[in-house]
Amino acid sequence: MAAFTQLPPVTKLCIFVGTSVFGIGGGLLASAFGMDNFSLGSFVLSGVGSIVGVFVGWKVAQKLS
């Protein structure tokens, strides 16, 4: 079994904040395009925003370390 390394708390916090902010931003972007809050397009844009948020949070944590 592969050993997993523990992420520092700052990295976890940056990824959490990035995922939350960009996920909400994706949902708001879907609303700006006229999609319902519970539509497939809103779900997809929120998911894409969350993935971007993980990347941005990871990069911010690397800059802070």
Instruction: Please check the confidence at residue 55 and state whether its pLDDT lies above 90.
Output: yes
- Can you give the pLDDT at residue 2? 56
What are the domain boundaries of the chain?
10-64
- Can you give the pLDDT at residue 8? 80
pLDDT digits (tens, 9 = 90+) for 16-48: 999 999 999 999 999 999 998 889 999 999 999
Phi/psi for 34 (5° steps) reads 90, 15
* Distances, alpha carbon 34 to alpha carbons 3, 29, 30, 52, in Å: 46, 9, 7, 22
